[in-house]
Amino acid sequence: MLTTDRFGNTNSAYFFDGENDYIDCGISYVITNISEAISVSLWVKPYILTKNYILGRYANDLSGGWRFHIMDGYFGFGVGGPSKTDRFLTNKLITINPGTYYHVVGIFDKPSYTAKLYVNSQVVIATNWNDRSLTFDKITDPTIVYQLFIGTFTAWGFNYFNGEIDDIRLYNRALSDDEVWALYNEN
């Protein structure tokens, strides 16, 4: 459902009720073939702060993909891997409050084995993520391509987001600190 965005513009952001609302972005060749680096930027206004999945693209067995979530009052960004476990960063520099917009950026750069999670331009960095993968192993079923979902997380069934999401952007490269700062200050 459309709602008012962070600037007060009507019908310019998305509202999710936490029960059954989500957007299925389908299968996009552009998104499916991001394999070396990804940056995802969005504005999020959560209503609850426990186990709240925001968006992502993941294999059901966690062998590849990425996601954003909220756990215990903090934003997280995860990337899957061939060990079929996801590894995620939690940004505990900023405690989030329900009903407030936050700018969140997740970056994974496979060549440098680095992941970053920014919340309102405050960054947490992880290194040595050399076993992480943005793509999926299709050996078990070569016809499966997992689409991008907004407002839910589909590995292990559907978990729905409760809040608002505005201004989602995906990049097939790692954004610089200056680019993240510019997005945060954009009006």
**Tokens describing residue 121:** 């331009």
| 12-184 CATH, one of 2.30.30.30, 3.40.50.300, 3.40.1010.10, 2.60.120.200 | 2.60.120.200
Q: Per-domain residue ranges for the chain?
A: 12-184
Q: State how far the Cα of 51 lies from the Cα of 32, in Å rounded to an integer.
A: 26
What is the Cα–Cα distance from 120 to 3, expressed in whole angstroms? 22
Question: Sign of the CA dihedral 154, 158, 159, 161?
Answer: positive
How far apart (Å, rounded) are the C-alpha atoms in residues 30 and 104?
A: 22
Residue 100 or 93, more confident: 100
Residues 80, 102 contacting (CB under 8 angstroms): no
The pLDDT value recorded for residue 14 is 97
Residue 182 pLDDT > 60:
yes
Amino acid letter, 102: Y
Q: Decide if 121 contacts 184 (C-beta within 8 A).
A: yes
Measured distance between the N- and C-terminal CA atoms of the chain, rounded to whole angstroms: 23
pTM: 0.86
What digits encode the pLDDT tens for the residues 40-66?
A: 999 999 999 887 889 887 665 555 677
Q: Is 160 exposed, middle or buried (0-12, 13-18, 19+ CB in 10 A)?
A: middle
For residue 182, what are the contacts with CB-CB under 8 A and spacing of at least 6?
none
At residue 148, the pLDDT reads 79
Residue-level pLDDT at 136 = 46
Angle at 118 between CA 57 and CA 96, to 5 degrees: 95
Average pLDDT (4-32) is 85
Beta bridge mates, 109: 37, 114
Query: How many other β-carbons are positioned within 10 Å of the β-carbon of residue 161?
Result: 29
